[in-house]
């Protein structure tokens, strides 16, 4: 058993000694290799082409025959006129009568969103859905076609054409005899809230007094949902179809579903784009690399943020593979003659649904963990994990080095002074305890909601300033700081191990977030010295660590965003704007946690913040 370590360890001694002597060099090397290998992965030659893993999908095997485009246009015209009278409310009677007229079962579902903070307002909404029962099937499986309702003047762009499309396609689907799975057409009210209410009701998630969505039981239902396509069609003349896949907490759908959409869109001469980029065709490798880098960067940012990019993002939590097809409206200035009409989109949807209908089993092949540099290239978990591992490993090297130092010094000292790693436990425990208490802050705010209302405090301010002051108090707290140099070493060792542990766990849930955090945390955490005698150097270290504070990271990101969108503005304006946005964003994440189960706030407070505190107490 002496492959990794030898028993009578002359060899072991060598390896460890080499590690001790060249630790810093090794750390830098691994980190640089990590970045370099990731850059290499994006290169066209080193990332794989996408392919179909699930044979049953058979995309494009049949001719797509949808021809109800004029019916869809008529419906769109009628719906536009109808929606004007409804003032951004769903024209329920019109939609239900349309679905019923073609012969579908139509149901409605009411829900109430109980806002947990402030005056604890209640928002009411109502979803509409229709079920097409597959002939000769026992309603054991279903596929969903959904769209959120947005009126003609919605700021996010209307979805009325999508609804018209949905009804037209329902009419076409009904005339076909080949369906093996029921098809559910769902129009959700209040965007994601309605979708969440419907999904909760469909899976009969238990409600209690604390749940923020109170939903009505579904009257009509079918079997387990095998796949879902969410539509966001803003116009009847479009230039391309954008595929959106990032879901809640950075969850992704099965790559096969994405491939089906890309393949069928291409076959209908629709340009499928991912983060605004279509598959690059260029002679120059460098050009392609740049496009790949832009796409993957954009995808990673959107995944790291942890917010769903569309209503498909909520399905994924229920193990339903889903994506959003967003038709991008053709601008007047577009010179290209390519135009994606109702006919094209209808045939695209028909193709995807027939593929899903072909599925014998639920999606179980292909990849769930991947990064996409373009619509036709992917990097699977097997490759990007190597880069990620190289980025994380410096913290392990450093921790091992510190641990060896602790041990070596043991023998030269008295037993009294020797320091065991177990002594770090109280400090680490308290850091985590404070983190957990920060995470439970919203519950306290919720409990004293009436207090906020009576004294006119805004929830976002209470939350924000509590977080800030709590952090400050903990930063100034002298009790948890390491005193002796030995203690500090042990502290640092544990902090580094914790970092490696947290980031590698996170990488399995949300690789993008893990990657970004690793990129900033590991270099700083590894390079700070605990025994610096120079005041100035110490100050610089402190400044760096402050930059790593979760709140500060958030603020910097928002500031960067503000500057990106509006480069002309004065610096003070940006600072102020980012500050205001920061308060809102934190509350927004908390709300998302309550309603959908977004864990970004929880992660920031209960997991990242304790580690940051441990780093802070090193200085």
Token representation of residue 296: 């993957």
Q: Which residue of 78, 80, 86, 105 would you call a contact of other proteins, by CB under 8 A?
A: 105
Q: Is 203 in the site for other proteins (CB under 8 A)?
A: yes
Q: Is 360 in the site for other proteins (CB under 8 A)?
A: yes
Q: Is 5 in the site for other proteins (CB under 8 A)?
A: yes
Q: Which residue of 39, 62, 282, 319 would you call a contact of other proteins, by CB under 8 A?
A: 319
10 Å CB burial of residue 52 (0-12, 13-18, 19+) is middle
End-to-end CA distance of the chain: 42
b/e per residue 504-518 (b: at least 16 CB within 10 A): bebbeebbbbbbbbb
Task: Name the one range near other proteins by CB under 8 A: 118-126, 198-206, 377-385, 550-558.
Answer: 198-206
Binding mask 267-306 for other proteins (x = CB under 8 A): ----------------------------------------
Q: Which residue of 22, 67, 89, 100 would you call a contact of other proteins, by CB under 8 A?
A: 100
Residue 485: alpha-carbon gap to chain centroid = 41
- Contact between residue 518 and residue 503 where contact means Cβ atoms under 8 Å apart: yes
Hey, which residues does 19 pair with through a beta bridge? none
Token pair 């994405």 is found at 258
Q: Is 133 in the site for other proteins (CB under 8 A)?
A: yes
What HEC string does 321-352 produce?
EEEEEEEEECCCCCCCCCCECHHHHHHHHHHH
Residues in the chain: 619
Of 77 and 223, nearer to other proteins (C-beta) is 223
Q: Is 208 in the site for other proteins (CB under 8 A)?
A: no
Nearest-approach distance from CB 176 to other proteins, in angstroms: 9
Q: Which residue of 13, 77, 382, 597 would you call a contact of other proteins, by CB under 8 A?
A: 13
Q: Could you tell me what percentage of the chain is helix, strand and coil, using 3-state DSSP and rounding each to the nearest 5?
A: 55, 15, 30
Binding mask 523-562 for other proteins (x = CB under 8 A): ----------------------------------------
Q: Is 3 in the site for other proteins (CB under 8 A)?
A: yes
Residue 60: alpha-carbon gap to chain centroid = 30
Nearest-angstrom CA–CA distance, 523 and 231: 43
Secondary structure tally for the chain: helices H, strands E:
22, 12
Token pair 């893993």 is found at 53
CA-based torsion, 600, 602, 604, 607: positive or negative: negative
10 Å CB burial of residue 580 (0-12, 13-18, 19+) is exposed
Nearest-angstrom CA–CA distance, 241 and 262: 9
Residue 138: alpha-carbon gap to chain centroid = 35
Q: Which residue of 269, 361, 456, 533 would you call a contact of other proteins, by CB under 8 A?
A: 361
Task: Name the one range near other proteins by CB under 8 A: 275-283, 359-367, 510-518, 544-552.
Answer: 359-367
Binding mask 53-92 for other proteins (x = CB under 8 A): ----------------------------------------
Which candidate, 149, 239, 140, 151, places its Cα nearest to that of 185?
Answer: 149
Binding mask 211-230 for other proteins (x = CB under 8 A): ----------x-xx------
Q: Which residue of 26, 78, 386, 404 would you call a contact of other proteins, by CB under 8 A?
A: 404
Q: Which residue of 68, 126, 141, 256 would you call a contact of other proteins, by CB under 8 A?
A: 141
Which candidate, 228, 207, 82, 27, places its Cα nearest to that of 143?
Answer: 228
Binding mask 422-461 for other proteins (x = CB under 8 A): ----------------------------------------
Of 228 and 545, nearer to other proteins (C-beta) is 228
Nearest-angstrom CA–CA distance, 569 and 571: 7
Of 9 and 440, nearer to other proteins (C-beta) is 9
Q: Which residue of 63, 177, 454, 531 would you call a contact of other proteins, by CB under 8 A?
A: 177
- Contact between residue 187 and residue 90 where contact means Cβ atoms under 8 Å apart: yes
Of 65 and 204, nearer to other proteins (C-beta) is 204
Q: Is 139 in the site for other proteins (CB under 8 A)?
A: yes
Token representation of residue 87: 């003032």
Q: Which residue of 7, 283, 415, 564 would you call a contact of other proteins, by CB under 8 A?
A: 7
Residue 277: alpha-carbon gap to chain centroid = 19
Of 226 and 562, nearer to other proteins (C-beta) is 226
Q: Is 108 in the site for other proteins (CB under 8 A)?
A: no
- Pairing relation of β-strands 225-233 and 321-329? parallel
Q: Is 20 in the site for other proteins (CB under 8 A)?
A: yes
Task: Name the one range near other proteins by CB under 8 A: 67-75, 95-103, 241-249, 553-561.
Answer: 95-103
> 154: how many CB neighbours lie within 10 A of its CB?
15
Q: Which residue of 58, 174, 386, 561 would you call a contact of other proteins, by CB under 8 A?
A: 174
Of 107 and 117, nearer to other proteins (C-beta) is 107
Which candidate, 89, 74, 349, places its Cα nearest to that of 231?
Answer: 349
Of 81 and 364, nearer to other proteins (C-beta) is 364
Nearest-angstrom CA–CA distance, 91 and 563: 41
> 214: how many CB neighbours lie within 10 A of its CB?
16
Q: Is 4 in the site for other proteins (CB under 8 A)?
A: yes
Q: Is 420 in the site for other proteins (CB under 8 A)?
A: no
Nearest-angstrom CA–CA distance, 180 and 185: 16
Of 115 and 318, nearer to other proteins (C-beta) is 318
How many residues bind other proteins, per CB under 8 A?
Answer: 46
Q: Is 17 in the site for other proteins (CB under 8 A)?
A: yes
- Contact between residue 155 and residue 496 where contact means Cβ atoms under 8 Å apart: no
Of 219 and 580, nearer to other proteins (C-beta) is 219
Q: Which residue of 70, 88, 407, 573 would you call a contact of other proteins, by CB under 8 A?
A: 407
Residues that bind other proteins (CB under 8 A): 1-5, 7-10, 12-13, 16-17, 20, 97, 100-101, 103, 105, 133, 135-141, 174-175, 177, 203-205, 221, 223-224, 318-319, 360-362, 364-365, 404, 407-408
């Amino acid at each position: 058993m002496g492959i990794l370590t030898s028993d009578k360890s002359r060899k072991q001694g060598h390896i460890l000694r080499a590690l001790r002597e060249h630790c810093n060099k090794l750390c830098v090397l691994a980190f640089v290799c990590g970045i370099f290998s990731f850059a290499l992965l994006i290169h066209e030659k080193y990332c794989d082409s996408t392919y179909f893993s699930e044979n049953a999908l058979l995309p494009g095997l049949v001719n797509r025959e949808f021809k109800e485009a004029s019916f869809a246009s008529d419906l769109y015209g009628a719906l536009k006129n109808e929606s004007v009278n409804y003032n951004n409310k769903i024209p329920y009677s019109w939609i239900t009568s349309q679905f019923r007229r073609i012969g579908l079962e139509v149901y409605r579902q009411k829900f109430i969103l109980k806002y947990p903070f402030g005056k604890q307002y209640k928002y009411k909404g109502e979803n509409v859905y229709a079920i097409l029962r597959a002939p000769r099937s026992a309603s054991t499986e279903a596929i969903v076609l959904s769209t959120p309702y947005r009126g003609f003047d919605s700021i996010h762009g209307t979805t009325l054409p999508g609804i018209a499309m949905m009804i037209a396609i329902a009419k076409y689907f009904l005339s076909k005899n080949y369906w093996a799975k029921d098809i559910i057409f769902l129009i959700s009210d209040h965007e994601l809230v309605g979708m969440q209410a419907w999904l909760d009701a469909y899976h009969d998630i238990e409600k209690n007094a604390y749940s923020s969505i109170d939903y009505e039981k579904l009257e009509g239902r079918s079997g387990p949902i095998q796949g879902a396509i969410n539509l966001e069609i803003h116009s009847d003349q479009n230039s391309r179809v954008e595929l959106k896949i990032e879901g809640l907490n950075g969850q992704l759908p099965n790559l096969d579903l994405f491939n089906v959409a890309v393949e069928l869109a291409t076959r209908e001469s629709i340009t499928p784009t991912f983060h605004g980029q279509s598959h690059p065709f260029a002679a120059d490798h460098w050009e392609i690399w740049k496009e790949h880098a832009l796409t993957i960067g954009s995808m990673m940012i959107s995944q790291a943020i942890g917010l769903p990019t569309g209503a498909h993002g909520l399905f994924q939590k229920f193990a339903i593979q889903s994506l959003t097809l967003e038709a991008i409206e053709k601008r007047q200035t577009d010179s290209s003659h390519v135009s994606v009409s109702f006919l094209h989109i209808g045939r695209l949807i028909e193709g995807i649904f027939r593929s899903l209908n072909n599925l014998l089993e639920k999606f179980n092949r292909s990849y769930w963990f991947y990064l996409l540099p373009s619509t036709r290239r992917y990097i699977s978990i097997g490759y990007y994990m190597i880069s990620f591992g190289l980025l994380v490993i410096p913290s392990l090297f450093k921790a091992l080095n510190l641990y060896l130092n602790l041990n070596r010094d043991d023998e030269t000292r008295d037993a009294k002074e020797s320091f065991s790693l177990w002594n770090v436990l109280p400090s680490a425990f308290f850091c985590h305890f404070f983190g957990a208490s920060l995470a439970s802050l919203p519950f306290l705010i919720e409990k004293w909601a009436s207090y906020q209302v009576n004294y006119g405090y805004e929830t976002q301010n209470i939350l924000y300033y509590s977080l800030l002051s709590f952090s400050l108090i903990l930063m100034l707290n002298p009790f948890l700081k390491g005193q002796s140099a030995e203690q500090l070493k042990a502290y640092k060792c544990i902090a580094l191990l914790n970092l490696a542990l947290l980031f590698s766990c996170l990488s399995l849930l949300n690789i993008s977030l893990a990657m970004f955090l690793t990129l900033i945390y590991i270099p700083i955490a590894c390079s700070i010295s605990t025994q610096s005698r120079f005041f100035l150097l110490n100050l610089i270290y402190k400044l760096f660590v402050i930059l790593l504070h979760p709140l500060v990271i958030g603020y910097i990101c928002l500031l960067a965003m503000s500057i990106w969108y509006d480069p002309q503005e004065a610096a003070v304006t940006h600072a102020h704007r980012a500050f205001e946005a920061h308060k809102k964003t934190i509350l927004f994440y908390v709300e998302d946690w309550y309603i959908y189960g977004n864990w970004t706030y929880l992660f920031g407070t209960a997991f990242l913040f304790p580690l940051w505190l441990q780093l802070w107490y090193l200085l």
